[in-house]
Amino acid sequence: MYKEGLTFEQEQSNVSVKSVMNGVYGWMTFALALSGLCAYLVGTTPNLAKALLTGGTFWVLVIAEFILVMVISAMINKMSAALATALFVAYAALNGITLGFIFLAYTMSSIALTFFVTAGTFAAMAVLGTVAKMDLTKMGSILTMALIGLLIASIVNIFLHSSTLYWICTYAGVLIFTGLTAYDVQKIKNLCYETDGQGFEVTRKVAIIGALTLYLDFVNLMLYMLRIFGGRKD
């Protein structure tokens, strides 16, 4: 029995889109788990932390991460789904390694607390982005501009060392990435509808680029949350 007002084609499309969105969340969850494992191993193993998080090695890893994100984002339409998946997994592992500092700087209990607060916030915004009838494009544009301003302010504060600006950036970061989560979920859902029926290669790449987008939202939101809830080690 089909929902009232929906044709067979519309019902099939909704099922297909739901399947792709499940893929988005599945790959995002896998990437977060992989990053968390890598971060934990590096952050709790002194020799690994010393080798990977100090000196030039750390910056090589950061640059490699940046390149991977740029390559995936800019060239995903030209690469195979298998390559896109492999690059995404590689990025998640590299990012996990560089996030190992979290376990060096913060207590385990505060990291766990922050993770659950972030997960709850992310889930609420994901639901909002899924069910919202209004177009969130304008909000997304505003938040993107705010994100650019946040990046500039953060760079400036590297030199100013202002505690006031630090906390302004912290709370702004939480608000920006909270809002971007809802916007990005709606954008990905719309992309799923636009590419519906185009085959496995296309839908897998949609799942990967969607997972990357939401992964970045989650990680950045958690990093800003850590500034608030994170208890630093003595």
Domain boundaries, the chain: 8-229
The string of pLDDT tens digits covering residues 88-141 is 999 999 999 999 999 999 999 999 999 999 999 999 999 999 999 999 999 999
Rounded distance between C-alpha atoms, residue 29 and residue 104, angstroms: 23
How much is the CA Rg of the chain, to the nearest whole Å? 19
Q: Is 9 exposed, middle or buried (0-12, 13-18, 19+ CB in 10 A)?
A: exposed
Neighbours of 201 (CB within 10 A): 12
| pLDDT value of residue 98 | 97
Question: What's the maximum distance between 2 C-alpha atoms anywhere in the chain?
Answer: 64
Q: Take residue 50 and report the two structure tokens written for it.
A: 């010393």
Mean pLDDT calculated for residue range 136-148: 97
What is this structure's pTM?
0.93
Mean pLDDT calculated for residue range 152-167: 97
Alpha-carbon separation of residue 33 from 5, 39, 40, 42 (angstroms): 40, 10, 10, 14
* pLDDT over threshold 50, residue 1: no
Amino acid at 143: L
